[in-house]
Amino acid sequence: MYVAGIDVGSLSAEVVILDHGGRILNYIILPTGSNSKAAAERAMEASLQAAGLKLDDLKFIVATGYGRISIPFAHKRVTEITCHGLGAFFLHPASRTVIDIGGQDSKVIRLNDQGKVVDFAMNDKCAAGTGRFLEVMAQALEVDLAGLAALSERASCSIPISSMCTVFAESEVVSLIATGQPREDIARGLHEAIAERTAGLVYRVGLTEAVTMTGGVAKNSAVVHALEAKLNVKITVPFEPQIAGALGAALLAREERDKEAGA
């Protein structure tokens, strides 16, 4: 009686399968590409193959994320706020504030002692400070995403970035490079600008420790460090921060399975 959660975002699709005891059996992360439905099918197929299972072996599947409506094999669809909160709480039960920065949106979720959502704030109107923003900035600085964090950590100072609009910020970075400003200092300025913007969301819901960071951007150590300095807190990053949404969906699937079993 396995269950699964699937989170299809703008940049990546994640699947988490839980075993009979509610433990993570396996997970997978794949690029979404241009077709959410196809990405969901690829991710589920790859996850099932890795687990040695068939789709019929999954008793219940919950979908979340940007592309959840387009997933034909899901039994239920749930908003990402609920799923990310549950997933973060499972990975780090002390979590009371969850900062999630994904491909094209960012959100801050405040949890109670049971891991339920008390409040949240979300920025989904533009890609400022998200994974897509970092991708564009990395290209402008001629490094990959992993290299962007390393570049920032070698900075001697921080060059402020005045605009967080992806288009304007890219133009600003290109201009700074042209005037001979060190790329390391520009990178640090970018990370601090992301921290400043994200902190605004945190203050809207109220900062409560412990703080956990999820989403693909949590893999960027420079963003995490900039946020820790801005908020003056220690931030915990789970072993795989990108699976929090899919994990939360899988936990909800387990609840649905148990309801049916008790009916």
Q: Where are the domains of the chain?
A: 1-92+240-263, 94-237
Q: Determine the pLDDT at residue 124.
A: 67
Q: Determine the pLDDT at residue 127.
A: 75
CATH of 94-237 given 3.30.420.40, 3.30.1360.180, 3.40.720.10, 1.20.1440.20: 3.30.420.40
Residue 225 DSSP class: H
- Examine the pLDDT at 263 and tell me if it is beyond 70: no
Q: Determine the pLDDT at residue 260.
A: 82
Q: Determine the pLDDT at residue 129.
A: 84
The rounded distance, in Å, linking the Cα atoms of 212 and 241 is 9
Q: Determine the pLDDT at residue 172.
A: 95
Tens of pLDDT, residues 126-182: 777 888 999 999 999 999 988 999 999 999 999 999 888 888 999 999 999 999 999
The rounded distance, in Å, linking the Cα atoms of 230 and 61 is 38
What is the CATH class of 1-92+240-263? alpha beta
The rounded distance, in Å, linking the Cα atoms of 62 and 246 is 8
Does an H or E element contain 98, and which?
A: strand 97-101
| 1-92+240-263 and 94-237 agree in CATH topology | yes
pLDDT mean over 64-77:
94
Tens of pLDDT, residues 4-58: 999 999 899 999 999 999 999 999 999 999 999 999 999 999 999 999 999 999 9
Q: Are 44 and 15 in contact (CB under 8 A)?
A: yes
3-state secondary structure 23-79: CEEEEEEEECCCCHHHHHHHHHHHHHHHHCCCHHHEEEEEEECCCHHHCCCCCEECC
Q: Determine the pLDDT at residue 146.
A: 85
Type of residue found at 108: V
Give the contacts of 135 (CB within 8 A, at least 6 positions apart).
145
Give the contacts of 243 (CB within 8 A, at least 6 positions apart).
7, 14, 16, 27, 29, 87
The rounded distance, in Å, linking the Cα atoms of 81 and 107 is 8
Strand 117-123 versus strand 76-77 pairing type: unpaired
Q: Determine the pLDDT at residue 218.
A: 96
Q: Are 113 and 210 in contact (CB under 8 A)?
A: no
